[in-house]
Amino acid sequence: MSDLEEQLIVGFGDIVDRLVATPFGTAAVLRKGKGGPAKLRYTWMRVYDDARKFYGRPLTLLAAESLIDRVSRGDYVLIVTNSHEMDGPPGAAAMARSLVVGLGAIPVIVTDYVEGTKFEKAVPQSCIGAQLIPVSDPEELRGSIWTPYTVLVHRWPEMTVAEAEEAAGRLMDDYAPKAVITVEAVSCNKAGINHGALGGPRNSGDPEEPFVRFNEIIFAAKERGVLTIATGDNGNECGFATIEGILKEHHEFCNDCGCPCGEGIISAAGADIVIPANSSNWACYGIGACLARLLERPEVLHDEYTHNRILLNCANVGIPDGATAMCTPTTDGASHKACVSLVGMLGETVRMSMVELVRESR
Ligand SMILES: [Zn+2]
């Protein structure tokens, strides 16, 4: 690659990173009703800045380059996400689509839900919005003209630590994934305690307690040398231990969770590449944009109309926005228009980076 090409691609990656790490507007989120504790988003922009320095390359670009490097047609990629809020399922679905359209990969979305509840529909409906066909039987992933756009939804139930370790090992053996991508998969800290964005605890810390445990998937992947990518917006998301120092410097709850465990909210698992973005969903759209640019195929990133459908499909099964607790087609308080506009801007960024602006002279 020539110097100019390298500068163009790094510049492109930085633009995408900044788009997905920058909130629209300045609204604080008041957690416990009017007058409650305000959560500002600016500290998180500083976390992004320091993570960018730590990696020495745009984060969404680094993730896309690593995926292209490792993942070939027909390879499995695990996408790990929650099924109970608007930040997670839409990003996982869009990520799955970019991997299918861009790399011919086979996505397996690993997600927690209780069968028979509305949460069971969050990931499948988001996938349908993203033009993919969700299936629950691995047999439906290959072998017919009806399978190239299928995506497996794999339930990840509450488990003890030992059960989660075994289940994670089985996932690795069954699919031999070439990459694991976590999308707003909130997980336990070093003390085995799971925390919300403003502290915790949500579990007892007893390894025998059945609980949704995602860290074991990253541990199993790393043991086998599988590429791991984490997206998040708070530090309690699975994979964020890699930037622990940065998180502790800027984020009060990463330092002090306010609960008796005293360990802070940071996930105990450390992914190879960590992307702190305005929301985990947005980081996925950023990776999709970088895949589109590197593959020189703009259609690898979904468009605004598809994005509208993804968000509506997820919200319409009754999934709440994590910031407002209303079931709106929004993400962490970022409005519907902001989310759709972001995808529009990413798409134009891809297209504008693939043209030459030629000023002719006579
Ligand atoms: Zn704690």
Chain segment 198-227, per-residue pLDDT in tens? 777 899 999 999 999 999 999 999 999 999
Average of per-residue pLDDT values in the chain: 95
Strand locations in the chain (E): 29-30, 38-39, 76-82, 106-112, 133-135, 150-155, 179-183, 227-232, 273-276
Q: Is residue 48 part of a domain?
A: yes
Q: Is residue 70 part of a domain?
A: yes
* pLDDT band (50, 70, 90) for residue 273: very high
Could you tell me the distance, in angstroms and rounded to a whole number, from the CA of residue 250 to the centre of ligand 1?
A: 17
CA neighbours closer than 13 Å in the CB half-sphere of residue 78: 32
Could you tell me the distance, in angstroms and rounded to a whole number, from the CA of residue 283 to the centre of ligand 1?
A: 26
Q: How many domains does the chain have?
A: 1
Could you tell me the distance, in angstroms and rounded to a whole number, from the CA of residue 261 to the centre of ligand 1?
A: 4
Question: Any idea what the CATH number is for the domain that residue 169 is in?
Answer: 3.90.1640.20
Whole-angstrom distance, CA of residue 206 vs CA of residue 333: 33
Whole-angstrom distance, CA of residue 253 vs CA of residue 247: 9
User: Residue 335, SS3?
Assistant: coil
Could you tell me the distance, in angstroms and rounded to a whole number, from the CA of residue 279 to the centre of ligand 1?
A: 22
Q: Is residue 219 part of a domain?
A: yes
Q: Is residue 357 part of a domain?
A: no
Per the CB < 8 A criterion, the answer to whether 188 and 194 are in contact is yes
Could you list the residue range(s) of the whole structural domain that residue 192 is in?
3-352
Confidence (pLDDT) at 123: 98
Could you tell me the distance, in angstroms and rounded to a whole number, from the CA of residue 237 to the centre of ligand 1?
A: 14
Could you tell me the distance, in angstroms and rounded to a whole number, from the CA of residue 263 to the centre of ligand 1?
A: 6
Confidence (pLDDT) at 219: 98
Q: What is the pLDDT of residues 294-339, one digit of tens each?
A: 999 999 999 999 999 999 999 999 999 998 899 999 999 999 999 9
Could you tell me the distance, in angstroms and rounded to a whole number, from the CA of residue 265 to the centre of ligand 1?
A: 6
Could you tell me the distance, in angstroms and rounded to a whole number, from the CA of residue 199 to the centre of ligand 1?
A: 6
Could you tell me the distance, in angstroms and rounded to a whole number, from the CA of residue 276 to the centre of ligand 1?
A: 21
Q: Is residue 358 part of a domain?
A: no
Q: What is the pLDDT of residues 109-147, one digit of tens each?
A: 999 999 999 999 999 999 999 999 999 999 999 989 999
Could you tell me the distance, in angstroms and rounded to a whole number, from the CA of residue 128 to the centre of ligand 1?
A: 37
Q: Is residue 360 part of a domain?
A: no
Could you tell me the distance, in angstroms and rounded to a whole number, from the CA of residue 303 to the centre of ligand 1?
A: 40
Confidence (pLDDT) at 198: 72
